[in-house]
């Protein structure tokens, strides 16, 4: 017969084992997290941002816009660190967050894990402190993704909030994430669109935003659909599960190709072996890197590749009247004659991928209306010595649904949704009650 003590121990073990089983089996009522994407045209080139609710003064919160950057190693924004935050201690026009000490492991980990150093950045030191703090702060370098300029921010603890979703609508539930980001001075945001005061790290870095999520189902897949207009938002998803636009699960349109690593970048790369225009293949030299960018506005090709594309595209569009190119483009056409639109429909451009799949760039993503009368091929000459042979820019992403599977290192792409009578503006942001 078990002693009374043995009986208690056995009972506790039984309860605890079932408790952890219940935790392991818990399935939340949402399949993804969702954030609207806004297109901005008030900067030098089109850029895209998301908005989060951020903690402010402990008891209050504020909406902030963050520029989407697939290269940034961590989130940073316009804020100040304050060691003793209490209601009323932070000015209304500022965001105050808690500092990370240089003696905390996060400081060392962020600095050592972010090994890709920009030569324009100053060395990081542990010499600064906050009044009344008593500990050294943790300066970290931040790089403006538009200008390339470097400045120093202070590592912080910060809360960001976003909506949960079933893939069809946002729920009224909030997903609260505590991150290690950085507060940077206002001067760091030169050339940003109006009211965009932060950078969202959408990269593969160990300190990107999704690395702070606490559930596997939303940590390892990032999907985005960039809008083609400023009037209606596109959408960013974190997580698995279906994604519905006009009651159609757009994940069913995805084809996949491997994501490739680059030794000096947290960005995303794929293998492109050819560019095909009207059944004629332009071979891409071996070892050519193809980068995916949310900052570059148009697809950039190294000069040797660019010249072949321009030559071939000119041949298959001879029936259209060319005009003097408008920078930064090298091939432009007249789109109106005597007030009548041509209805310019050009052949598709296919990126032939290394695994045999193809990413089709149709007219909506290849031709840019530059003036009322002129439309241009939205591919740019990147120069003879550009670091990457191909950089696929945001114009080619618009109204395409794409997905980064970080667990399986694959990139999913739909090609243009417009051919399905769907656009990135078709996600329904009407909030519904969660279960």
Enumerate helices (H) and strands (E) in the chain, giving the number of each. 6, 32
Torsion of CA 342, 345, 347, 351, to 10 degrees: 130
State which CATH number among 3.40.50.2000, 3.40.50.300, 3.40.50.720, 2.40.70.10 fits the domain covering 248-418: 2.40.70.10
Predicted local distance difference test score (pLDDT) of residue 27: 64
Count of Cβ atoms closer than 10 Å to residue 110 Cβ: 23
CA distance linking residue 204 with residue 432, whole number of Å = 32
CA distance linking residue 173 with residue 405, whole number of Å = 25
Predicted local distance difference test score (pLDDT) of residue 151: 93
State how far the alpha carbon of 364 is from the alpha carbons of 34, 360, 369, 419, in Å.
Answer: 26, 11, 10, 10
Whether residue 413 contacts residue 405, with contact meaning beta carbons closer than 8 Å, is answered with: no
Query: Do 248-418 and 32-240 fall under one CATH topology?
Result: yes
Residue with tokens 């030169």: 190
Predicted local distance difference test score (pLDDT) of residue 8: 46
What residues does 341 pair with on adjacent strands?
336
Domains in the chain: boundaries: 32-240, 248-418
The second-level CATH assignment, the architecture, of 32-240 is Beta Barrel (2.40)
| DSSP 8-state code for residue 253 | G
Of the candidates 73, 71, 268, which has an alpha carbon nearest to the alpha carbon of residue 153? 73
| Per-residue confidence in pLDDT tens, the chain, 435 aa | 445 445 444 544 444 444 444 444 556 778 999 999 999 999 999 999 999 988 655 555 678 999 999 999 999 999 999 888 777 778 777 888 999 999 999 999 998 877 667 777 888 888 889 988 889 999 999 999 999 999 999 999 999 999 999 999 999 988 999 999 999 999 999 999 999 999 999 999 999 999 999 888 888 999 999 999 999 999 999 999 899 999 999 999 999 999 999 988 999 999 999 999 999 999 999 999 999 999 999 999 999 999 999 999 999 999 899 999 999 999 999 987 655 556 688 999 999 998 999 999 999 999 999 998 999 999 999 999 999 999 999 999 999 999 999 999 999 999 999 999 999 999 999 999 976
Whether residue 164 contacts residue 187, with contact meaning beta carbons closer than 8 Å, is answered with: no
Residue with tokens 């009322």: 372
CA dihedral (428, 429, 433, 435) positive or negative: positive
Whether residue 71 contacts residue 208, with contact meaning beta carbons closer than 8 Å, is answered with: no
Of the candidates 94, 115, 296, 120, which has an alpha carbon nearest to the alpha carbon of residue 206? 115
Predicted local distance difference test score (pLDDT) of residue 41: 97
CA distance linking residue 77 with residue 59, whole number of Å = 20
Predicted local distance difference test score (pLDDT) of residue 89: 77
């Amino acid at each position: 017969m078990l002693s009374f003590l043995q009986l208690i121990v056995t009972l506790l073990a039984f309860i605890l084992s079932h408790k952890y089983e219940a935790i392991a089996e818990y399935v939340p009522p949402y399949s993804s997290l969702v954030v609207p994407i806004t297109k901005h045209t008030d900067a030098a080139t089109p850029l895209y941002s998301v908005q989060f609710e951020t903690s402010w003064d402990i008891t209050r919160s504020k909406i902030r816009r963050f520029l989407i950057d697939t290269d940034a190693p961590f989130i940073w924004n316009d804020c100040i660190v304050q060691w003793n935050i209490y209601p009323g201690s932070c000015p209304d026009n500022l965001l105050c967050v808690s500092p990370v000490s240089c003696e905390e492991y996060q400081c060392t980990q962020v600095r050592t894990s972010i090994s890709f150093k920009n030569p324009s950045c100053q060395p990081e030191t542990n010499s600064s402190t906050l009044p009344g703090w008593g500990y050294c702060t943790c300066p970290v370098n931040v790089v403006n993704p538009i200008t390339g300029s470097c400045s120093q921010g202070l590592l912080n603890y910060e809360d960001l909030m976003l909506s949960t979703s079933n893939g069809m609508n946002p729920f009224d539930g909030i997903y609260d994430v505590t991150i290690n980001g950085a507060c940077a001075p206002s001067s760091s945001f030169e050339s940003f669109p109006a009211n965009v005061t932060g950078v969202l790290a959408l990269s593969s870095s160990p300190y990107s935003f999704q690395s702070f999520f606490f559930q596997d189902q939303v940590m390892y897949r990032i999907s985005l659909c960039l809008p083609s207009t400023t009037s209606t938002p596109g959408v960013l998803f974190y997580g698995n599960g279906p994604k519905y636009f006009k009651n159609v699960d757009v994940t069913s349109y995805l084809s996949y190709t491997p994501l490739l690593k680059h030794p000096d970048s947290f960005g995303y790369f794929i293998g492109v072996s050819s560019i095909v225009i009207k059944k004629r293949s332009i071979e891409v030299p071996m070892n050519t890197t193809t980068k995916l960018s949310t900052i570059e506005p148009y697809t950039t090709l190294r000069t040797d590749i660019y010249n072949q594309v321009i030559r071939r595209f000119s041949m298959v569009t001879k029936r259209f009247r060319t005009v003097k190119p408008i920078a930064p483009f090298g091939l432009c056409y007249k789109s109106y004659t005597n007030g009548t639109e041509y209805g310019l429909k050009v052949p598709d451009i296919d990126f032939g991928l290394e695994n045999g799949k193809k990413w089709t760039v149709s007219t909506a993503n290849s031709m840019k209306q530059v003036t009322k009368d002129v439309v241009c091929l939205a591919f740019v000459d990147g120069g003879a010595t550009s670091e990457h042979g191909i950089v696929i820019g945001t114009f080619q992403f618009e109204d395409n649904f794409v997905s980064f599977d970080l667990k399986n290192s694959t990139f999913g792409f739909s090609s243009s949704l417009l051919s399905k009578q769907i656009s990135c503006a078709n996600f329904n942001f009407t909030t519904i009650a969660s279960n």
